[in-house]
Amino acid sequence: MKGNNPYLVVIAIQAIYAAMFLLSKAAFDHGMNNFIFVFYRQAIATIFLTPFTFFFEWKTAPPMPFWTFCKIFFLSFFGITLSLDIYGIGLIYTSATLAAATTNCLPVITFFLALLLRIESLKIKTSSGIAKLIGIVACLAGAATLAFYKGPSFKLFSHFHLLDSHKSLQHQGYSQSGAWIKGCFIMLLSNTFFGLWLVLQ
């Protein structure tokens, strides 16, 4: 059972992310400002994690030079603040499903950024390189399908619609297709910042 613990943790994290996408979309569609939402989200996380840091790390933590503090600041600015704010804007124009799909493209984006910064290499003639290439193509194809193809809607058993995204777009006079494509590119930009955060760490 202990060997399965990492897999269970990964599944739990993905379930939490799915719930976060749904609740974020519902909050934005019902008038919540995305910048305020991100602020409260980070503030609650800070309040929750601060006691653990204070009681378990303050005696063993090494002193932090000013230059290291500046690096951490810029890392958090690009990877957390900008990424989450842009993600919130993109979620207004799209759906929670697309948000999850573009997040699944994060490994591909991170890999491309690592290639550009010469941290990672791609050797197409090797089996590992071919596997990487197949994974990249499959990931991008799946995300593109979810981004640009909107199939028929399914009416579930519940008549309560949590995500009334179409109302917000129509009331603001947006073209749904144009807003959807715009949201896709905004989501891509958000994940690019997050991927850059991962690479720079």
Give percent of the chain with pLDDT exceeding 90. 0
Question: 174 falls in which pLDDT band (50, 70, 90)?
Answer: very low
**Dihedral sign, Cα of residue 128, residue 133, residue 136, residue 142:** negative
pLDDT recorded at residue 171: 43
- Whether the CB-CB separation of 27 and 37 falls below 8 Å is answered with yes
Residue 5, C-beta contacts closer than 8 angstroms, at least 6 positions apart: none
Distance CA 103, CA 83 (A): 11
Residue 107 burial (CB count, 10 A): 15
Residue 61 burial (CB count, 10 A): 9
pLDDT digits (tens, 9 = 90+) for 43-97: 888 898 888 877 877 777 778 788 888 888 888 888 788 888 888 888 888 777 7
Query: Is the pLDDT assigned to residue 166 strictly greater than 50?
Result: no
Residue 117, C-beta contacts closer than 8 angstroms, at least 6 positions apart: 199
**Span 3-31, average pLDDT:** 80
Distance CA 182, CA 201 (A): 29
Backbone φ and ψ for 66, nearest 5 degrees, come out as -65, -40
**Span 22-33, average pLDDT:** 82
Question: 39 falls in which pLDDT band (50, 70, 90)?
Answer: confident
Question: 169 falls in which pLDDT band (50, 70, 90)?
Answer: very low
Distance CA 21, CA 51 (A): 27
Q: pTM for this one?
A: 0.70
